[in-house]
Amino acid sequence: MSIPTPPPERQSAYPHQTPPTPPPAPVADPTMVYPAAVQPAAVQPVPVAAAPVAATPTGPSVDAGRFWAGVAATALVTALIGLVGVLIVDQILDIELVVKDLLGTGSTGAAFVVGGVLASVLAGGLLHVLVLSTPKPRAFFGWIMFLATLTAALLPLTWTDVLESAIASGLVNAVIGIAIWSLLLGVLSRTLRPGTLVD
């Protein structure tokens, strides 16, 4: 009886290969200068510029010199209005004007001129005080001037029974009052110091 012999060991189709050797690590050349590694800078918050704050005026809120120069110019305008009113109504239209000559000027024209000047100065002083002491000077001054002008226009009706003369005198007074009112508000707008808010 024959004993089977084991089959011959199967040979690999591929010859035995040794793993490739890694290339040698590069050696730093001491003569070379290498750039330093750049580290990311820490993120800094971007400064935000603060909004400019309006400077608060430390002195009076009105340029007193220019303001009172405007009051003087207003007084000149009202004096001329009174003079022109008397010239038109009394001399051209031949309507007699009635006036209470409290200062004893002895003339209708002079009474209107002096009255207009005094009214302008008093109104200017009132406006100056209101600006320095009240929160809404324009509103207060407007109401005061409206009522004062209305009173001056209606007063001649109580001085004479001649309706024509009373109405003509009231109209002259009303024009003077409106001129004072509008001119002084314009003067105030031009003489306020920067940063002053006036209603």
pLDDT in tens, 91-150: 899 899 888 877 777 788 899 999 999 999 999 999 999 999 988 999 999 999 999 999
In this structure, is residue 149 part of a structural domain? yes
**Count, residues in the chain:** 199
Number of domains, the chain: 1
In this structure, is residue 52 part of a structural domain? no
Position with higher pLDDT, 190 vs 4:
190
Structural domain boundaries, residue 153: 64-191
In this structure, is residue 20 part of a structural domain? no
Position with higher pLDDT, 168 vs 30:
168
Q: At what angle do helices 137-154 and 163-191 cross, to 10 degrees?
A: 160
Q: What confidence category does residue 194 fall into, taking pLDDT thresholds of 50, 70 and 90?
A: confident
Q: Does 13 have pLDDT greater than 60?
A: no
Count of Cβ atoms closer than 10 Å to residue 165 Cβ: 19
| Average pLDDT of the segment spanning 2-8 | 56
* Percent share of the chain, pLDDT over 70: 67
In this structure, is residue 4 part of a structural domain? no
pLDDT at 152: 94
| Average pLDDT of the segment spanning 28-49 | 56
Q: What confidence category does residue 181 fall into, taking pLDDT thresholds of 50, 70 and 90?
A: very high
CA 50/CA 53 separation, integer angstroms? 9
In this structure, is residue 112 part of a structural domain? yes
In this structure, is residue 196 part of a structural domain? no
| Average pLDDT of the segment spanning 150-155 | 95
pLDDT at 50: 58
pLDDT at 6: 57
In this structure, is residue 131 part of a structural domain? yes
Q: Sign of dihedral through CA atoms 158, 78, 147, 124?
A: negative
188: CB partners within 8 A, 6+ apart: 62, 67, 127, 131, 137, 138, 198
Q: Does 53 have pLDDT greater than 60?
A: no
The answer for 6, left when phi > 0, alpha when psi is -120 to 50, beta otherwise, is beta
| Average pLDDT of the segment spanning 164-189 | 95
In this structure, is residue 15 part of a structural domain? no
